[in-house]
């Protein structure tokens, strides 16, 4: 059993809780950062309730916007999973609103990890750092060499923050001589470990609440949180992974197909699922006043081919199908009482 210690930033997040569970199950010692003591206490309870040996879990406080605490958090850690990043329920109007925490926080963590002598850092990035802001001119095939265009008028504040944060982390890792890997998943869904539905599960939740009777003509990749967590754990030690950006997707569905998959998984909610697709001009009109609508305009009617072969070859990424992941998410929200 390994006695290596992993620093896990943003440990109370939806994906991070699954990473913490898998790390503890694999025998790692985990030092998780949270912003408040209350979040730390709930994290410990959640992991214990899901069978983890929480005697190997240490919880410390640290904030992405502050320098204080990061050197202490990284001290004695062999490996780092940097997962903390702002993910709002709604897109802010200010394009740069999320950048200070995402980018500044990433640099703080990378630099602290380098000073602590950590062997490798795995960063949770996103497909949002790869595929946005290119319009119809892009080939439609997205892989690890692709970066989102943060200067585009139709790119979302979230995509800007993820792109700038990842780019800054790579630069800081190079300066600090730290081996780095990035994990770039599509929309992450799947089972909750407690009753806290994070922002990445909001699309499932909104549909189950009947808040989306119609959807725009866009498609998205989906992937199960358990498979994303497993990729993070594998990336900590996988040979050949250093310097790579791993795109993770189990498959692509339109939003109408997404709703249908929810309805099939939880039939009692079937009548709340979207029934038709909004005309593109309606979405473009809404984008004049809505930052959420503005964030999807560039994706209207656009198909993408997501290249996940490197993750399959190097990280053993063998994901559940997207409908299985969506079904697990919907049933979990229902069973945990987290729909309303």
Q: What ranges do the domains of the chain cover?
A: 5-335
Per-residue tokens: 118:
């950590």
Catalytic residues: 162
Question: Could you tell me which residues come within 8 angstroms of residue 109 by beta carbon, excluding any fewer than 6 positions away?
Answer: 9, 64, 70, 74, 80, 82, 84, 121, 169
CATH fold of 5-335, please?
A: Rossmann fold (3.40.50)
CB neighbourhood size of 231 (10 A): 28
CB 214 within 8 A of CB 277: yes
Question: Tell me, what's the pLDDT at 39?
Answer: 94
Q: How confident is the model at residue 208 (pLDDT cuts 50, 70, 90)?
A: very high
DSSP 54-67: GGGEEEEE--TT-S
Strand 120-124 relative to strand 179-185: parallel, antiparallel, unpaired? parallel
Question: Tell me, what's the pLDDT at 137?
Answer: 59
pLDDT tens, position by position, 237-274: 999 999 999 999 999 999 999 999 999 999 999 999 99
pTM (predicted TM-score): 0.93
Which DSSP state fits 200? G
Mean pLDDT computed over 302-321: 92
pLDDT tens, position by position, 116-144: 999 999 999 999 999 887 766 555 788 99
Residue recorded with tokens 């790119």: 155
CB 219 within 8 A of CB 253: yes
In degrees and rounded to multiples of 5, residue 164 shows phi and psi of -70, -35
Question: Tell me, what's the pLDDT at 89?
Answer: 59
């Amino acid at each position: 059993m390994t006695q290596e210690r992993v620093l896990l930033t943003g440990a109370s997040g939806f994906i991070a809780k699954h990473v913490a569970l898998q790390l503890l199950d694999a025998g790692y010692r985990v030092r998780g950062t949270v912003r408040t003591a209350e979040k730390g206490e709930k994290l410990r309870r959640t992991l214990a309730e899901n069978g983890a040996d929480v005697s190997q879990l240490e919880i410390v406080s640290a904030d992405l916007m502050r320098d204080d605490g990061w050197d202490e958090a990284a001290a004695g850690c062999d490996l780092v999973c940097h997962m903390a990043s702002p993910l709002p329920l709604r897109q802010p109007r200010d394009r740069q609103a999320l950048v200070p925490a995402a980018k500044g926080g990433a640099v703080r963590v990378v630099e602290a990890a380098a000073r602590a002598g950590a062997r490798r850092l795995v960063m949770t990035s996103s497909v949002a750092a790869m595929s946005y802001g290119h319009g119809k001119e892009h080939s439609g095939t997205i892989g690890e060499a692709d970066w989102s265009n943060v200067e585009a008028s139709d790119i979302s504040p979230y995509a800007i923050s993820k792109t700038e944060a990842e780019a800054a982390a790579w630069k800081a890792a190079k300066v600090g001589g730290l081996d780095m890997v990035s994990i770039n998943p599509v929309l992450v869904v799947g089972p909750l470990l407690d009753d806290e539905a994070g922002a990445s599960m909001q699309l499932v939740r909104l549909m189950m609440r009947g808040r989306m009777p119609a959807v725009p003509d866009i498609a998205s990749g989906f992937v199960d949180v358990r498979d994303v967590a497993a990729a993070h754990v594998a990336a900590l030690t996988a040979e050949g992974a250093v310097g790579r950006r791993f795109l993770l997707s189990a498959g692509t569905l339109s939003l109408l197909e997404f709703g249908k998959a929810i309805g099939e998984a939880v039939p009692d909610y079937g009548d709340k699922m979207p029934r038709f697709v909004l005309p593109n001009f309606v979405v473009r009109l809404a984008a004049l006043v809505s930052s959420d609508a503005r964030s999807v305009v560039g994706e209207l009617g656009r198909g993408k081919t997501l290249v996940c072969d490197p993750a399959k070859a190097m990280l053993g990424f063998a994901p559940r199908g997207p409908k299985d992941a969506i079904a697990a998410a919907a049933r979990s929200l229902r069973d945990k009482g987290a729909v309303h």
